[in-house]
Amino acid sequence: MAHDDAYARLAETLKALAFAAGQPERLTEVEAVDVAALSQHTGIEQQVVSTLLNGGRAPETSVPARVRQRLDFLRAHYLRKDGKPYSQQELAAIAGVTRQTLSEWYKRGLPGLEAAERLRQFFNLTPGFFTTDEPTALNLALAPVLRELERRSDPLGPLRTQAMYRLARRAPSMPDGALEGLLYWAERITRPHDEASGTV
């Protein structure tokens, strides 16, 4: 049930994304929806990210299997400065555990919370990187993308606040000078950028 809820929440986000992006045939065609970046952010392989974006489902995985997959993803995609992958020994040192303990994670798929947090902070990973299910992880990663698309599609959105509505209701009773000032600034805010800057 919880898994179905996660897919339902993702579907709502995808619907909102499609609306904000102008209803493209596929979300993967939207410039702001960077599959590679979403993959890096979530620890989900790009092919699975694309499947989820197109309304499909990720392969079912248990939490231990997911932890192993994300550890493998970490080693494959988060490289050292010399471009080489971190060794298990290096990852163990970052996590503050022994290599044997790290090997146990691969077997059991359940890292200690403190060690996982050290890895998360070192690599600047999202909270729950190792354990969050695929639809939830992608949904969280898409939130800032959706906000940006909505901002682009409705640049006046930030002005639609209760304070602005109260100001609009007060406008008829404002003194002429105050109303003229309000209209002046409203015109400047809503004027196209080129016109406002004096360029053609």
Q: What local confidence, expressed as pLDDT, does residue 186 receive?
A: 67
Q: How far is CA 58 from CA 14, 52, 68, 147, 178, in A?
A: 15, 7, 16, 25, 58
93 belongs to a structural domain? yes
49 belongs to a structural domain? yes
Give CA–CA dist 45/109, Å, rounded: 18
Instruction: Please check whether residues 113 and 137 belong to one and the same domain.
Output: no
| Structural domain harbouring 50 | 2-60+133-153
Q: What local confidence, expressed as pLDDT, does residue 161 receive?
A: 64
Q: Which residues contact 46 (CB under 8 A, 6 or more apart)?
A: 35, 36, 39
Question: What's the total number of domains in the chain?
Answer: 3
Instruction: Please check whether residues 161 and 178 belong to one and the same domain.
Output: yes
| CATH code of the domain in which 108 resides | 1.10.260
The answer to whether 125 and 66 are in contact (CB under 8 A) is no
16 belongs to a structural domain? yes
pTM exceeding 0.85:
no
Residue 193 has pLDDT above 70, yes or no: no
Q: What local confidence, expressed as pLDDT, does residue 163 receive?
A: 66
The answer to whether 96 and 118 are in contact (CB under 8 A) is yes
- Comparing 12-16, 18-22, 164-168, the range with the smallest average pLDDT is 164-168
Q: What is the pLDDT of residues 100-115, one digit of tens each?
A: 888 888 777 777 788 8
Q: What local confidence, expressed as pLDDT, does residue 155 receive?
A: 60
Q: What local confidence, expressed as pLDDT, does residue 191 receive?
A: 64
**Nearest Cα to Cα of residue 74 among 104, 47, 39:** 39
Instruction: Please check whether residues 52 and 77 belong to one and the same domain.
Output: no
Instruction: Please check whether residues 162 and 149 belong to one and the same domain.
Output: no
The total number of residues shown for the chain amounts to 200
Q: How far is CA 180 from CA 163, 172, 190, in A?
A: 19, 11, 15
